[in-house]
Copies of this chain bind each other. A is one copy, B any other.
Amino acid sequence: MTEIPQVPDSEHPTQVLTEAECWQLLAGTPLGRLAVTCRNEPDIFPVNFWPHGSTVLLHGSRHVRSAVGQSSPHVVLEADGRDAGTVWSVMAKGTFRQVGRPEAQELVQQRQLRPWTFGPECIYLELRPDRVTGRRIAVGPEERY
């Protein structure tokens, strides 16, 4: 059995994260990026998100609303961040459904969600991931800044 190093270092620069670690990182991150495919071309949009059981609630702007209307059903949410000496990245791949306005309003009130943008043109989506993966890499002192 291959031993997975607990912390990446110069000898083991990449650490594969467990699914539990991925969910934990997602829970502590307010901003991610949603990638969609429209007419076989990718597009990316910043989104706020909140893990919710085994799904993820996403909130996006009118640009997201417009894109998902034409998107294939498969999407990816990516989030990343930096700790001391490492960078992590998590991807949640799956399908989505649009959350209707009454349901969204209830969720926002119940969970006291604070999306960064607002307005009637925004959209809430529920992402049902069928795969959540992540990696953490060591970043040396020689990085660019």
Q: Per a CB cutoff under 8 Å, which of B41, B116, B143 touches A87? A: B116
Contacts of A30 in B (CB 8 A): 143-145
**B72 adjacent to A40 (CB under 8 Å):** yes
Task: State the CA gap A72–B39 with chains docked (Å).
Answer: 11
Q: Per a CB cutoff under 8 Å, which of B35, B80, B93, B119 touches A35? A: B35
Chain B CB within 8 A of A89 CB: yes
Copies of this protein in the assembly total 2
Closest CB in chain B relative to A76 CB, distance in Å? 5
**A35 adjacent to B42 (CB under 8 Å):** yes
Contact with B along A6-21 (1 / 0, CB 8 A): 0000000110000000
Contact with B along A103-145 (1 / 0, CB 8 A): 0000000000110111100000000000000000101101111
Starting from the known contacts A33-B80, A35-B76, A42-B74, 17 additional A-B residue pairs (CB-CB under 8 Å) come to: A31-B80, A31-B87, A33-B44, A35-B42, A37-B37, A40-B40, A41-B72, A43-B76, A43-B93, A44-B44, A44-B78, A46-B89, A61-B137, A87-B116, A116-B139, A116-B140, A116-B143
Q: Jot down 10 A-B pairs with beta carbons below 8 A, ordered by A.
A: A13-B119, A31-B87, A35-B42, A35-B44, A37-B40, A43-B93, A44-B91, A114-B144, A116-B143, A117-B137
